A and B are shown apart, each in its own frame.
Chain A
Amino acid sequence: MGEELKLFRTWSSRYALRVVHALKIKDLEYETIFEDIKNKSTSLLEYNPIHKKVPVLVHNGKPICESLVILEYIDEIWKQSPLLPQDPYEKAMARFWAKFGDDKVMPSIWSVFISQRKDQEEAIAQAAGNLKFLEEQLTGKKFFGGETIGYLDIAFGWVANLISILEEIADLKLVDAEIFPLLSAWMNNFSDHPVINECWPPRDKMVEKFKAMREPYVEKVA
């Protein structure tokens, strides 16, 4: 049966990248529609009238929005290479940590990126505390999903991709391999995985984009 799959994304959205990774792991064919955030297409606005954001997955004409909701949908429809654990408790844990990543870790990393001096020192301490929880979750595991990449690895994909870019721009080290050996190893294992590797957005474009985003927050040094 012909399945029609479309993904509305931008070239850099870390949320859309989750869906890209999931579709790749499941080995699914789909059409990509790249959106310009400053000039959103009519289709996007029709498919996601509430949030008007990417990603949106459209399956046989029906839209699904919110990246983590999309991941669960993909996992329920296509049973090969399961993303979420089967056990209800393990599933709850995966969902919990993914939410923690979005609600706490990401904003704390962003705070480090846009703050300076004393504010930045405090932000770094906060971010490090959050990253420590992630480090602990990797005890005895290669990936958050265990032996293979799963839902939580994909949810944390931005950690593997974006943090080093922010570190380069802000000229600091957040995920030090000595302090976070497991997380550092995970970042390499995840990034180097063939399924993930092919999908990264171009690094130089990312550096340029995030440098521009940081501009308004950085005091000019005379």
Chain B
Amino acid sequence: MLDEVILLDAYFSMFGMRVRIALAEKGVEYEYREQNLLNKGQYLLEMNPIHKKIPVLIHNGKPICESLIIVEYIDEVWKNNPLLPSDPYQRAQARFWADFIDKKVNDAGKRIWYMKGEQQQAAKEEFIEALQLLETELGDKPYFGGDKFGFVDLALIPFYCWFHAYETFGNFSTEEHCPKLIEWAERCEKIESVSKSLACPIKVYEFVLILKKKYGVK
């Protein structure tokens, strides 16, 4: 029986990018459906009634929501090219760091373009601190997964295409604070699944301009 895989997503979403990368890493054929988040379609609302958000992966009619949960699902269903380590302790570390990225990088990043003044400054400091912790965790390894691109790399790399927007609005340089992390990001970008899944940083910046206008953020 042929698998039917549909991805409800939005071009600029880092969370959607995670799923795109995972599906590409596994070589899974799927139908991509770009969603209008300002005018959410009925199908999205049916498939994710709880959060009404993307990404949603629909596998043979059954929806899975929340990007890291979707990626773990993909890893369990399609066993080729594993994303998570096989060792339980390494898996726990990978999950820990993916959770850290969600809690620390995502939230601070958003506040950089959404806030001003002291709040923005605080967000910048938190963001840089989070990246520096990640850089320490990376150490001398080519990827967080070791020799191979893996779960934590996938969890973090989509934020890289948002760095230009964060840096411009926050007036700072990530490379200045985390040069090794930028090297890692450039290494990841050479991977086909990553390069074809990430949004263009200039377009992201323009998108954030629209968002700022929409939310009345100067």
Contact = CB atoms under 8 A, between A and B. Distances in A.
A70 B89 CA distance: 10
Interface of A: 50, 59, 62, 64-66, 69-70, 72-73, 76-77, 88-89, 91-92, 95-96, 99-100, 133
B89 A64 contact: yes
Given A88-B76, A89-B73, A96 B64 contact: yes
Nearest to B137: A50
B133 A89 contact: no
A92 B69 contact: yes
**10 residue pairs, one from A and one from B, having the closest CB atoms:** A88-B76, A76-B88, A73-B92, A92-B73, A69-B95, A64-B92, A92-B64, A95-B69, A88-B77, A69-B92
A96 B133 contact: no
Nearest to B65: A96
A50 B95 CA distance: 14
B91 A88 contact: no
Interface residues of B, number: 22
B169 interface: no
Nearest to A62: B89
A79 to B, nearest CB: 11
A69 B99 contact: yes
B70 to A, nearest CB: 7
Nearest to A87: B76
B116 to A, nearest CB: 25
Interface string B130-148: 0001000000000000000
Contact of A50 (B70, B73, B100): B100
A100 B95 CA distance: 17
Nearest to A86: B76
B96 A91 contact: no
A133 B76 CA distance: 26
Contacts of B66: 95-96, 99
B72 interface: yes
Nearest to A130: B50
A69 B93 CA distance: 8
Contacts of B76: 88, 91
